[in-house]
């Protein structure tokens, strides 16, 4: 049984919504994170697959098809449980991708889980993705990624079912202030 003091905050959103910026802020406050995409990247590296956007997309979909839609979340649950066993009371999850993952997290951590969705007007989101320093996408690639994530990975479900929403269309400091308000509200 997990201590009633444990709280887990999952940050969700489409590519370019500001998940990484939000998670970076949360980790700067001292909260450990478990990165869903990191499970994919770690397994790609273990298998000798070169990390490119195309390879990552293909692998992300293939591993869920071969190992089950719950493969990534099983790794995340194990990592969260290791952190809890090591005494962590607050954990941030970065990048819940699917409805399956959402449901498993709610089942595994029924009292502990809170979902925070970052939402951004699509035009701004696409601009951010095209201009980001790491793994930028052109317009065609981001549209294809959105479609793949919504249709193949059911990414819309966790966003739609989130407990809190931040419209992340302003300055980083504004988003940080909104995050601080949510942290106070959930006693994180």
**What pTM was computed for the model?**
0.88
The two three-digit tokens of residue 37, written as one number: 């995409």
| 183 has pLDDT over 70 | yes
pLDDT at 1: 61
Q: What domains appear along the chain, each with residue ranges and CATH number? A: 7-185 (3.40.50.300)
User: Would you place residue 54 in the very low, low, confident or very high pLDDT band (cuts 50, 70, 90)?
Assistant: confident
Q: Is the CB of residue 70 less than 8 Å from the CB of residue 101?
A: yes
Rounded Cα distance between 33 and 80, Å, is 9
Q: Please tell me the distance from the alpha carbon of residue 10 to that of residue 72, in angstroms, as a whole number.
A: 14
Please write the tens of the pLDDT for every residue from 99-121: 999 999 999 999 999 999 999 99
Mean predicted confidence (pLDDT) in 164-183 = 97
Tokens 């951590």 -> residue: 109
pLDDT at 147: 92
Residue scoring higher pLDDT (36 or 184) = 184
Q: What mean pLDDT comes out for the span 174-188?
A: 97
């Amino acid at each position: 049984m997990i201590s009633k003091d444990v709280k887990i905050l999952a940050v969700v959103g489409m590519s370019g919504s500001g998940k990484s910026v939000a998670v970076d802020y949360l980790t700067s406050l001292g909260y450990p994170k478990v990165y869903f995409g990191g499970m994919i990247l770690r397994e790609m590296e273990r298998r000798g697959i070169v990390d490119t956007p195309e390879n990552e997309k293909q692998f992300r979909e293939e591993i869920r098809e071969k190992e089950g839609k719950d493969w990534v979340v099983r790794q995340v649950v194990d990592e969260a449980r290791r952190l809890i066993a090591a005494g962590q009371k607050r954990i941030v999850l970065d990048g819940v991708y699917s409805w399956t993952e959402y449901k498993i997290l709610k089942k595994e951590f029924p009292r502990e889980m809170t979902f925070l969705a970052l939402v951004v007007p699509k035009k701004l989101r696409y601009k951010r993705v095209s201009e980001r320093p790491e793994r930028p996408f052109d317009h065609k690639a981001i549209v294809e990624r959105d479609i793949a994530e919504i249709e193949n990975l059911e990414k819309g479900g966790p966003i739609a079912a989130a407990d809190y929403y931040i419209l992340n269309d302003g300055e980083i400091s504004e988003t940080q202030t909104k995050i601080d308000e949510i942290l106070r509200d959930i006693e994180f």
